[in-house]
Structures are given as structure tokens and as C-alpha cells.
Chains A and B, each alone.
Chain A
Amino acid sequence: MPHVPDVAVVGAGPAGLAAAVEAAEAGLDVLLIDTAGQPGGQYWRHYDRTHARPEDRIGHHDWPVFTRLRTRLDELQAEGRIRYLPGHQVWLITRDSEAAFTLRVTATTSTSTAAGGASGETLTAHALILCPGGYDRQLPVPGWDLPGVLTAGGAQALLKGHRTSAGRRAVVAGTGPFLLPVATGLARAGVRVAAVIEANATVGWLRSPAGAVSAPGKGVEALRYAASMARHRIPYRTRTVIREVLGDGRVDAVRVARVDGDGRPTGPDEEITVDFVAFGWGFTPSLELPLMLGAETAKDTDGSLVVTVDELQRSSVDGLYVAGEATGVGGATLAVTEGRLSALALAGDRGLPADPTRVRRLRGAVRRARRFATAMHRTYPLPRAWPEWLTETTLVCRCEEVPYADLRRAHHELGAEDARTLKLLARPGMGWCQGRVCGLATAGIAAWLGGRETGVDDLRPLAGRSLAVPVPLGELAALAEETTPLEAMDEGGRNGD
């Protein structure tokens, strides 16, 4: 009987790293699986250690938090209390018995085999802490499929992981405070940032006092960004959106306009010459793994689908804990706190002593950070009327090249009233990315065409994926060969004759 660890932590970003370290320190036997070749996730993305330079940490928040966690991971790994499997992606989780979850993983990088893992593996664990993180939300707009259009997170990842930028003159557009570090990061790298285009009214997260008071450090952060924007002379234009990305074969300008509170243009259009655009509409969690297990979900204040958890990070599925962005987008500090809390909760549930004062403190920290996150979501909502920006030819799904006209036709002529039917009849979300990019937009369009607010029933069909990532058929076949012998192709098959 192979050894079954107490818990598999999936994801080694802020939440997962903290969860794994905390769980091991609490005495649990931990398996930590992560897609990347090194820990840190998207948030603490960095150049690999052998090529690191001291200045890489500039622009990284809470870097000491990360390095402390990384050191503990190294130590706990050396002590045999954490088995760390980098460079591996979980593509299927099943619950085969009450006592254990089964995870099927596939290698994502060439370095992972060197790090000690076979390419495909089947792993089991008694409990799960899923920390899948999130990624940039995207809204379609005419021209967003032109080369030179990036996500804000993508633009930042290029800087952090490769010390490179996608062009010389940029606009950073969308909504939320994340646009600011992306803009200043680009400026530091020598990019001329023509403007930050913010759809909402102000940087006014202080407008919601309850939230602002619970995270006083954030006010200081805001002042720092404001200073950096001023230093790089980056204009900050609020209540403004990009109505169209212009260019023949690649980006050469954007057309912007002032908008009202719902995102409807109120002023004349204006063109800004740029060679790349970074769009950021906030983040949305990756939910394929928790959805695979049937975890209950809800719509968060920011409009994203999130996993519902109790005050100890327990999902509706017994033995499944979820921490970080998957329970609601709230940033790295909250993710670290939730990761720690989930590990202590699990340790307690598995009969190990967990310090009640510490649990109480972590719960309080999560509550305060959640209030702040909610205040931010209220300040930077997706403009309600964004589907009005679309033209008939605007691509909604880039993989399957589905224009908005096809979605409208499926709704008006074919009776596609909900997101799932829209997907089945017009194919948005059916391509390579399986709706990761266009899922939110498709759900929003389904609701918009139906004249209702986007709801869980709109979001869920686009968020679930039967396979969390594409898997080579050869790897799938190997699983069957290990469990059931393959019968002859046709002998004995004609029993119906």
C-alpha cells in the first residue's frame, strides 16, 4: 500500500505556500503540487534563483514574507515533511472513497522531470487544500484580438519573469488599483506609458470607511503609487474606457472616450498613439478543480464566481479546503492568511492540536481583509453596460473566432436563453482555452441579452472544465492500461449478432 499523505496542497502561490508550510509545521504530512518550476505563484513570480539580481525584488510586495516561506519550504522538504512536486499540473481530481482524493497530474515543464517527477502520475491524499489562484479578467472590445494587446497581468509577468516588455509606448486600461503597479513597472523598464485609462471614478477606496479602516497599510500603498505615477509623468484618466483598439495587423492606436457610471460613452472619442495595450479588469479565480469536486459557489461582489467556504476555509465538500483568490479575489496578504488558516483548520479537523488564539487571530485578519476587498470591488466594478461597446464583428471567443453577432443570433433566433445553451449553439468557450478568457464575457453577454444581472447560473457553465488542462491522449491511455487490460479490438465484440 503506497503512503497516502494527510493533505495535498495544490498551488504554491501565496495561499498554497503558506498552507503547505503551516500544515507541515502543525504536524501534517504534506504533498505540494504546483504548475510552475519554482514557488511563488503569479504574484511572487521571479527570475529563477541562479539568475536572480537584487533589483528583481523591486515592485514585489511582501518579498520578505515570500523568502521566509521559501526557506521554510526548503527546510521542511529536507526534513521529509513536505513532498514538493513543481512543474506539474493537476488535470483531474476524483473522490474514489470517503477517505481519499485521487489526483491525476501531468508534467508542464521540461525541468519537472529533473526535479524528480515522472511525466504523468496518480497521487492520493486524505484531504485537499486547493489554492488555484486567479488570472486576469478580460472584456472584449473591438480590436482586442490585435497583436500588441496583452493582459495587465501578462505585461507584468513579462517584466517580472523575463525582464522584458512588449513595446515602447503603452496604455494600461481597465479598472482597479492593479493598473498602477503595472503602469509604474512598465515605466521603470523604460516604456513610455501614455496613460492609465480607468473606467471608474476615483482611486477612492477610502470612500468605504469600514473597508479602509480594516487595512490601514493600503492607504500608504496608494500614496506610493500616486508618487510613482507623478514621477514618471503618467496621466491617470478616470471614467474613461478604450472603445476600440486600432491597427492594421498590430496595434498602432487606441480610441478612448469618457463614460458615465455604467460605462456608456458621454464624450467625444480621442485617439492615443501606442504600440501596445495592457488590459486589466481585475482578477477572477481558476475554479476548475473545486468545481470538479462539486464545491458550492457564489457570485462575489466583483461579479466573479467564487467557492463558498465557512469561517475555517472549509468548502461544502467534506475534506476539501479552499484558500486564496478562489474564495474571492483579495490579494496576496489575504491569500497567505487564508492559506495558514486552512492548514490549521485541517490540522484541527484531523485531531492535531491547533492553537485557538492563533486560529482566532487569523480568522479576524481574514474578516478584515475581506471587508477591504469588498470595498475595493465596490469601488472598481465592471461597467454595467460594457456589452454596449461590442460591434457585430467584435470577437468574443478568440479560440473559436466567434463574433458577437453569432451570440446575438443564437439568443434572438435560436432561443439560447442561458450561457450553457449560448455556448452549445454559438461555440464561445469551446476552443483551446475552454472559456478561461471569454467565460466571464460570455456569461455577461448571456445575462445582458436576457435582460438580467449576471448570476451564478450564467457563470458556472463557463467556469467548469471536465479536464483542468489539455492532456495528451497517450497519457490518458496509460491510465487505462494500468487499471484494465485492453481487450482485443474486435474478437468477441459481435455478441449482438
Chain B
Amino acid sequence: MSVDLVVVGAGVVGAASAYFATMAGLRVVVVERGAIAGGTSSAGEGNVLVSDKEAGPELDLARYSQRVWREDLAEHGDLWEFESKGGLVVASSAQGVASLRALAVRQRRAGIEVRDVARDELPDYEPHLAPQLAGGAFYSQDAQVQPMLVAAHLLRLARAGGAQVRTRTEVTGFLRAGDRVTGVRTSSGDVAAGAVLNAAGTWAGGIADLAGVRVPVLPRRGFILVTQPMPTRTIRHKVYAAEYVGDVASSDAALQTSPVVEGTAGGTVLIGASRERVGFDRTVSVAAIGTLAAKAIALFPMLRGVRAIRTYLGFRPYCPDHLPVIGPDPRAPGLWHACGHEGAGIGLSAGTGKLISQALVGRPTDLNLSPFAPDRFPPAEEGTR
């Protein structure tokens, strides 16, 4: 059989790409080696954030994605618990507040809504916050979704439009005509296609390798703690400490933790976010979960006696310059990439999927994709993989 597009990966980015490509009239097959949304899509908090990004290409993509979530996908928002809850970033010192204000100035220039929050206004936003904080900033556009439901429903909608989803189907190689990629070899047969989209998330580097091109996506591990269910609106927004923005942008391999605390529709409170580069090690790190707990308590002292009922971990798909890889790969014509979104993949998936579908059908894209070019990385250095 031959189709227009094979999407490799049924995570949230693959699902959004399959959905928009199907809506654009393409015949799509999604191949997934495991189950739908089984990788990093099932290991995050469902962040749809603008607050944690510096002005630049990623913030532009975040803003564009906001539009796609709130306009193109608005009618489906309830299916995946889209909640425009707003984000509150807090700082514990005058210096921290000053740098929050400076970031806000740059973000406003890029079109983000930021409200400066004075120290005495903090309790109006979050009554349980620690009293000694110095101030904060409120981002009304920050939102949350249930990412597994996003992926599952986008794939359902794509199937309703004629797409096929094949789980437990692993890509083992590519069909080639000269340099050109003309389909995939899988554990259950070949699929010929006009284009192949690598949306394999943290494992996208391996798919690129199979095509003989280098896309340096590395795992950056993160833990999340989940508490027992709490009364609704105990914690009303996504609340995090200013250091989070710095940690997101850092490339350090050592453990970094910055408290991100929020309630969910189910009543549980989620506590993130740790970052460390330790490969695909799935061992629970006491240092990581302990530090998360300590920092969450520093923000919300009432959490001290609340019990954690589980912890989970995931591997963010991280690129050295912290930008995703989106677009056609000139080194292997016919191969496209939509991967490497690090910790922002849920929020950025909607925009990514729509932009990819525009490019695939040869229309001008709503956003310039050149900052995300797959061949922007220098050749492999020893030890980067």
C-alpha cells in the first residue's frame, strides 16, 4: 500500500501532526512501537505555558500554539480537560522579583500578557502560599491539558478522517529511492509513503540514525510527585518559583529541581520539576523526589503533612540548543521531523502539528520554521550520543 504520510510515534506531537495532516486531506498512517501516548506524553504535567520562555523562536511557537489550542481545537477542549488556569511565578527575594520584572518586559514586547503581582497581592491568587515571598508575575495564558487524552482524542479524530493507527509496530528501517525516503520498514511490513514524519520524541535520534542523518535528541529525566486528593481549588493556578525558567534553559547534566505546584481536575496536586541527564535510567532518585518535596513545602507550607501517593518519571526529548526540530530534512528528502520539544512538547504539539501539515501540502507556514531546521546542528562530536 502507499499513503501520503507515515507518522512515526503516537505521542502527542505525532497525534497532532496526524490530525492536522488528515484534516489537510492527506492519507496518513501512524506507526507506534508501543501503545498510544505511552512515552513522554504520559509522563508530564500537561503544561501549555508561555510564562517559562524567553523571547525568541520557542516563545513564538508557544504563542502560535496558544492560538491553535484556543481556536482550531477549541471545540474539543473539554475532551482533554483544557483549563486556562493561569500561571503564577513567584520569587523569594527582591533580586528575584527584579529579574521577573525584566523578563516580563521582554515577554510583553513579544505579545505575552503578564501582570506584575506585588507581595501583598499574592494571597489573592494563592491563599496557601508561604508568607515570606517577595512578589510574583501572573500569566493568564498559561493553561493545562491531560496529555494522554489529547493524544488519544486527536488520533481518534484522525481515524474518523481516514487515518490508520498501528500500535506495536516498530520502525526497523527506511525504504529509499536513492537519497530519497519513500516509506518505512516496520516489524509488521513495509509502508510506502510520499513522506515520513519522525515524531518519536525522546527516541527520535534513533529513528534519524536509521535514515543516516543526525538529530541530537537526548533524554533529560524528570520526576513528578502526586499527592493524595485535596479539596478543589486548594491550589488554583500553576505555581512555580522563578528559578524554573533558568533551569529549563540550562544545559547542566547534574540534578536541578525547581518547584512547580498545581492542582488537577482529579483533586491531586502535581509537584515537579526535576531535570537531570542520566540517560534512560528509571531508578527512583531519593535526592530528586526529596528535593521536590522540600521545595514544594517551601512554597506551600501546608503541604508538609500531605501525603504523596505516587511518583512518576519521564524523559524529556532535549536538544543542545533547547529548540525543537521541525520541518523537512534536506539531507534525506522525504524525511521530516517533529521532535525534540524537551519539556514543552505538550503545549507546543498543537502548533507543531498544524505547521507541519501546512508545510507538507506545500502551503506557506504561519510561522517561519528555519530556527527549527533539522540540519542546524554541527556534526557529531565524540560522546554526544
Interface assignment of B35: CB less than 8 Å from any CB of chain A: yes
Interface assignment of B145: CB less than 8 Å from any CB of chain A: no
Interface assignment of A63: CB less than 8 Å from any CB of chain B: no
Given contacts A490-B92, A495-B250, contact A472 B307 (CB under 8 A): yes
B156 touches A427 (CB 8 A): no
Interface assignment of B155: CB less than 8 Å from any CB of chain A: yes
CA distance A489 to B244 in the complex (A): 10
- Tell me, rounded to whole Å, the shortest Cβ–Cβ distance linking A83 to chain B: 22
Interface of chain A residues 388 through 422 with chain B (CB within 8 A):
400, 410, 413-418, 420-421
CA distance A414 to B151 in the complex (A): 9
| B32 nearest in chain A by CB position | A415
Interface of chain B residues 293 through 344 with chain A (CB within 8 A):
293-298, 303-312
Given contacts A420-B35, A480-B294, contact A473 B306 (CB under 8 A): yes
Interface of chain A residues 50 through 108 with chain B (CB within 8 A):
92, 94, 104
Given contacts A417-B35, A490-B91, contact A480 B96 (CB under 8 A): no
Q: Chain A residues near B225 (CB, 8 Å)? A: 473, 476
Given contacts A414-B156, A473-B225, contact A94 B310 (CB under 8 A): no
Q: Chain B residues near A492 (CB, 8 Å)? A: 243, 246
Q: Give how many A residues have a beta carbon under 8 Å from the other chain's beta carbons.
A: 48
- Tell me, rounded to whole Å, the shortest Cβ–Cβ distance linking B345 to chain A: 16
Given contacts A465-B310, A479-B290, A496-B250, contact A470 B228 (CB under 8 A): yes
Interface assignment of A267: CB less than 8 Å from any CB of chain B: no
CA distance A257 to B282 in the complex (A): 48
Q: Chain A residues near B92 (CB, 8 Å)? A: 488-490
Q: Give how many B residues have a beta carbon under 8 Å from the other chain's beta carbons.
A: 63
Given contacts A94-B284, A420-B35, A425-B148, contact A481 B290 (CB under 8 A): yes
Binary contact readout A408-443 vs B (1 if CB under 8 angstroms, 0 otherwise): 001001111110110011010011101000000000
| B98 nearest in chain A by CB position | A494
- Tell me, rounded to whole Å, the shortest Cβ–Cβ distance linking A131 to chain B: 22
Q: Chain B residues near A497 (CB, 8 Å)? A: 54, 99, 102-103, 246, 249
Interface assignment of B13: CB less than 8 Å from any CB of chain A: no
Contact of B305 among A410, A467, A474, A493 (CB under 8 A): A474
B35 touches A421 (CB 8 A): yes
Interface assignment of B235: CB less than 8 Å from any CB of chain A: no
Contact of A494 among B246, B306, B308 (CB under 8 A): B246
CA distance A92 to B223 in the complex (A): 15
A489 touches B310 (CB 8 A): no
B167 touches A483 (CB 8 A): no
CA distance A480 to B284 in the complex (A): 13
B36 touches A415 (CB 8 A): yes
Q: Chain A residues near B93 (CB, 8 Å)? A: 488-491
Interface of chain B residues 98 through 117 with chain A (CB within 8 A):
99, 102-103
CA distance A466 to B148 in the complex (A): 20
Q: Chain A residues near B290 (CB, 8 Å)? A: 476-481, 483-484
B304 touches A477 (CB 8 A): yes
Given contacts A417-B167, A432-B228, contact A480 B287 (CB under 8 A): yes
Contact of A496 among B227, B246, B266 (CB under 8 A): B246
Best-surrounded residue of A292, A400, A480 (most CB of chain B within 10 A): A480
CA distance A118 to B126 in the complex (A): 34
B307 touches A473 (CB 8 A): yes
Interface assignment of A471: CB less than 8 Å from any CB of chain B: yes
- Tell me, rounded to whole Å, the shortest Cβ–Cβ distance linking A300 to chain B: 25
Q: Chain B residues near A431 (CB, 8 Å)? A: 229, 309
CA distance A477 to B293 in the complex (A): 5
Given contacts A421-B37, A473-B227, A486-B291, contact A104 B243 (CB under 8 A): no
Interface assignment of B355: CB less than 8 Å from any CB of chain A: no
A491 touches B291 (CB 8 A): no
- Tell me, rounded to whole Å, the shortest Cβ–Cβ distance linking B40 to chain A: 13
Q: Chain B residues near A420 (CB, 8 Å)? A: 35, 38
CA distance A214 to B251 in the complex (A): 64
Given contacts A421-B37, A495-B250, contact A415 B307 (CB under 8 A): no
Q: What are 21 pairs between A and B in contact, CB < 8 Å?
A: A414-B36, A415-B152, A424-B148, A425-B152, A432-B228, A465-B310, A470-B308, A470-B309, A473-B306, A474-B304, A477-B294, A477-B304, A480-B287, A480-B293, A481-B294, A486-B295, A491-B95, A493-B243, A495-B246, A496-B250, A497-B249
Interface positions of A (Cβ within 8 A of B): 92, 94, 104, 292, 400, 410, 413-418, 420-421, 424-425, 427, 430-432, 434, 465-467, 470-474, 476-481, 483-484, 486, 488-497
| Seed contacts A416-B35, A466-B310, A493-B245; 17 additional CB < 8 Å A-B pairs | A92-B286, A400-B266, A414-B155, A424-B148, A432-B228, A434-B310, A470-B307, A473-B308, A474-B297, A480-B286, A480-B294, A490-B243, A493-B96, A493-B241, A493-B242, A493-B244, A497-B246
Interface positions of B (Cβ within 8 A of A): 35-38, 42, 54, 91-93, 95-96, 99, 102-103, 148-149, 152-153, 155-156, 165, 167, 225, 227-229, 241-250, 258, 266, 271, 283-284, 286-287, 289-298, 303-312
